[in-house]
Chain A
């Protein structure tokens, strides 16, 4: 075998690779000035969980690392279930989850926390879910929860059905078949949408709310993008998607009490304030019992509330300061504004912020 024939280029290639990679290692020296008050935070924070928070987390991490150049934060948007599981095993410092831990899950051990201490669950990401449709020349429709539920069960099959027409006087509804599009993947958006239907229209929607669409029938599409694409490219289609992706499609105003409310960040944040905390939880555990059948004025009940989960007392105190600083930034007006800008979420209200800051302060 003639080694020299391959040898020379190989040596050059290896040398080049080494040279190039060593260039890359010192590019990380960010030049941003650290924050004035920061006593030079440093360390690494690892989180995982809800993909719904993915783009918000990217914005938060970018801003936080710019202000604190010695800090590295990783968030793996692997999904709520995976995030909760990783947090239970102690593989991550904090988790993102589209639902709070259930009562029976809380009794288990959390490897990262001091045994016997409470969890901190903070509703830091509120995202309105828009019900979007594609009908020529119609920008918005007024519907109540029962009608929406019947459309998605297939009971109402055409757009000019009396149930739709009676709520939309003066709108020229076509005699076209309705194609109701739902998510084919397991998703927090689906679970929150179905919880709204089940609470606000229990007689029309009888299936158990779940992240996986519980009925056979209808049209399924992968992810928020898939639903938006299917609704956009189809005719007479209706679906549900994160409100930030609803541009260019018709949206449904939902009947709350006697009024029809269109989605808006303020209305989405208002439903969280109008809802009680889940009973029987620790003071730091701000799990919200969303009251989706609320009849209050100007609340939009179809929202996804995503939590950040941390320990109230960490077994290893190394990262406590970093966790509290990061969560405080997320709860601050700047943090919420950054998420609103990048992910179209609804900034939390001042009332909720006070509660959250109180909870964060107890972390040790």
Chain B
């Protein structure tokens, strides 16, 4: 800039109203988050040092209570993400680069509609359709591959295992991940794509050279949003999972760790006094974990600043 006074436009009321309301909206989200965090912390403090004498819900102390729940939450969400990520990238690529235009728009719309299904319905579907259908598959795995720790028995008689819950979660996080991946892939610079094709690349090579590298931050963002949804999903898990509180990596048995959100939903109706604080404190732990996951993802995205829209 030169040393002359910078040009200033004549302020109009419309500009002022718009800029103030934008600032207000931005502040509102910060205030909301702060209010939630303060509520969680204040309510949690009595529970963090509670023992089984103070709160009937605790076996020994708070950390022993929350650790299996935290494990179950992260374990179920990770399995779900492992299943959902390749599928959603595949669907997104099909819509953005392979499908005929008319089919692509219909398909995108259908995938987005999945997000409109209430989680209770997913839960009912998990209990009524999915669990009985996959139970024979689980039996086969346990029978023939039981030596592998993840597939160790005894097999669940109803199919309501952590793997089933993860499948339901995967279906639930699919739409948001697909939508973000799709939008990012569609924004790949056309010049890059055409250059790759002009040099003789096949369509798959072009996607590998131009689309995926460009979309990587978007894929990470999509994964994090999906993971956040999977970590926080309550009703579907509460209904589908046979949660007994055991910390185990086995995928196909009746004994599974519960998740934080599902455990709150199951225990809250009968909770009273300090037990309520204990449940809120587990919520605080989930809040912290989700926050940490987002921070890590933001750090990954920030390493590729040029492509991210959020900085």
Contacts and interface: CB of A to CB of B under 8 A. Distances in A.
Interface in A181-220: 181, 184-188, 210-213, 215-220
A37 B272 CA distance: 40
Contacts of A181: 158, 242
A235 B239 contact: no
Interface stretch (B1-9, B127-135, B201-209, B280-288): B127-135
B105 interface: no
Interface string A56-97: 000000000000000000000011111011000000000000
Secondary structure at the A interface, as helix, strand, loop or mixed, is: loop
Q: Categorize the interface residue count of chain A.
A: 35 or more
B160 A185 contact: no
A234 B157 contact: yes
A82 B272 contact: yes
A179 interface: yes
Contacts of B243: 184, 220
Contact of B242 (A78, A186, A220): A220
A237 interface: yes
Interface string A268-302: 00000000000000000000000000000000000
A79 B271 contact: yes
A219 B267 contact: no
B178 interface: no
Contact of B266 (A80, A217, A222): A222
B255 interface: yes
B128 A219 contact: no
Contacts, number: 100
A236 interface: yes
Given A1-B14, A179-B156, A216 B245 contact: yes
A177 interface: yes
B250 to A, nearest CB: 12
Q: Which of A51, A78, A185, A235 has the most CB of B within 10 A?
A: A185
B154 interface: yes
A246 interface: no
Interface residues of B, number: 31
B269 A186 contact: yes
B258 A216 contact: no
Contacts of A187: 270
A230 interface: yes
A217 B239 contact: no
Nearest to A98: B270
A81 B254 contact: no
A84 B275 CA distance: 14
Interface string B117-148: 00000000001100110000000000000000
B273 interface: yes
B210 interface: no
B238 interface: yes
A186 B246 contact: no
B128 A229 contact: yes
A85 B266 CA distance: 19
A105 B68 CA distance: 32
A1 B272 CA distance: 52
B157 A185 contact: no
Contact of A218 (B57, B131, B254, B271): B254
Interface in B153-191: 154, 156-158, 160
B311 interface: no
B158 A219 contact: yes
A108 B126 CA distance: 45
Interface of A: 1, 51, 78-82, 84-85, 177, 179, 181, 184-188, 210-213, 215-222, 226, 229-230, 233-237
22 contacts: A79-B270, A79-B272, A80-B270, A81-B271, A179-B157, A179-B158, A184-B241, A185-B270, A186-B57, A186-B271, A210-B56, A211-B270, A216-B245, A218-B244, A219-B157, A219-B160, A219-B244, A219-B254, A220-B242, A221-B160, A237-B157, A237-B158
- 8 closest A-B pairs by CB: A179-B157, A81-B272, A186-B270, A234-B158, A79-B269, A185-B266, A219-B254, A79-B270
